[in-house]
Structure 1
């Protein structure tokens, strides 16, 4: 478990280093997380890193069991008046081992996927990704957040890590792109190939068309952002 937390902590540290280079204007850039800008996503990551199993349930109860309202409250709490202060709050959570309910792998999924929610709109490429096979296995079986439905009837193969999950029409590409698409990010489709990409694209586009305005609640994506 220590080595697993080391990976999460390293991902948080690398993201903080990237964030430190951004201008205030870049912090206002729309992220891949619909309805949230970069500043919002960092606030969400900060709150999530502080969340314990107990505080998760307290927040959910206070929000009327609405994940959308709970997320909004979290962002409002952790988003400071300036990016500098929000980044300082995020840095303070880098070595946190708090976790809400759910398997440990969700901690890695969250920081990797949200890291790309931030980096990709800004054109930032990150080196040295962790292995993502366990993350994709989890998302492929996740009923709650839609991964299982998105990948049903598809055989996904990570060309860089050499593993295959599921059966059906083929979808091939880098593990990170597969994880993003499986997590509801259409941007992950760009580097994917195979007959199954058409079906996966239709599924992601169908969800995008049903999303509500960013000014109101939106359906949850694979890891909890609007």
Structure 2
């Protein structure tokens, strides 16, 4: 997938999220997302904020977060999340066509960001939000590659398993099998293990479930 196509998918997914957010009840905005410690509204705020992050903002907020990347991301989102719901939706819609990359990222990061965060929002609310296959394959490849602390540590967490999509040509690793729909695999490798488990099968799933509880 070339950059032009990636940006098209990013814009389409951002707009689709904005449209789906219109249907949320006020209480759903306050419910926990799949991101631990993040409400739905915090994730929405992050989606709208990510395309606006500059080097200056990064340096300033990174210092405020005492050098913690994850704290920097969380605190900037929580600050923005204080805005009214309709304004947060409007921001997501406004930034949908934006092609600005956050410092140190590639075009693949905003693609995986919107795909994963859409699930963070809608899955715990019991609302379906389909992840398109081609963009999800690109996202899965990138998620698997990014090392910590900026990535998901998928290679390390899932070492010793063979992770495979049942509905798309994607597999990684060796060992006991963990398989499921590509959408569930993306959740799994991005650290949303508990959310992914009900959709997974294979002789490695029980071991994975035990490891998740430890």
Give 1:161 shift: 0.8
1:181 to 148, 164, 188: 188
Give 1:157 shift: 1.2
1:149 aligns with 2:151: no
Q: 1:148 to 1:56 in 2, by over 3 A?
A: farther
Partner Cα separation in structure 1 for residue 9 and residue 143 of structure 2: 18
1:109 aligns with 2:73: no
Aligned to 1:135: 139
Partner Cα separation in structure 2 for residue 87 and residue 45 of structure 1: 10
Q: How many residues are treated as equivalent by the alignment?
A: 206
Unaligned runs of 5+ in 1: 207-226
Partner Cα separation in structure 1 for residue 73 and residue 129 of structure 2: 27
Aligned to 1:70: 72
Matches within 5 A, 1:205-216: 205-206=213-214
Encode CA deviations 1:102-148: one digit per residue, 9 max, x unaligned.
23222111111110011111111124624222322222233213212
Structure ranking higher in helix proportion: 2
Taking structure 2 as the reference length, the TM-score comes to: 0.87
Please tell me whether the aligned partners of residues 133 and 182 of structure 2 are also in contact (alpha carbons under 8 angstroms): no
Higher relative contact order (CA 8 A, sep 6+): 1
Partner Cα separation in structure 1 for residue 54 and residue 173 of structure 2: 33
Please tell me whether the aligned partners of residues 139 and 148 of structure 1 are also in contact (alpha carbons under 8 angstroms): no
Partner Cα separation in structure 2 for residue 13 and residue 188 of structure 1: 25
Taking structure 1 as the reference length, the TM-score comes to: 0.83
Aligned to 1:41: 43
